[in-house]
Amino acid sequence: MTGNLQAIGFLITWVLGWGIGGSLIDAGLINAGLYSLEGGQLGTTMTFVLWSLLWGAAGTWLFQCWVTGEKPG
């Protein structure tokens, strides 16, 4: 049961981190004037895709380290 709770906690943390992190990055880029929501959604789409790939790769790596018991580094 402990393993299941850890997996659920990992998944919840990962999803929240993905959503909050992506929103903060997007808001920062908009605030910096790199793109605007007035035009097309290309900037938001690029942020979504790049952040999803980066966060997904990091989450997969961390999960594999956790499952196999390897220590990062």
Tell me what pLDDT residue 71 has.
67
More confident residue, 72 or 41: 41
Tell me how far apart the 2 most distant CA atoms of the chain are, in Å: 49
pLDDT of residue 62 exceeding 90: no
Domain boundaries, the chain: 2-68
How high is the pLDDT of residue 73?
61
Q: What is the pLDDT of residue 43?
A: 84
Instruction: Give per-residue pLDDT as tens, 6-60.
Output: 888 888 998 999 999 999 998 998 899 888 888 778 888 888 999 999 999 998 8
Tell me which residue of 45, 8, 40, 5 sits closest to 25, measured CA to CA.
45
Whole-prediction pTM: 0.76
At 4, list the tokens. 């299941």
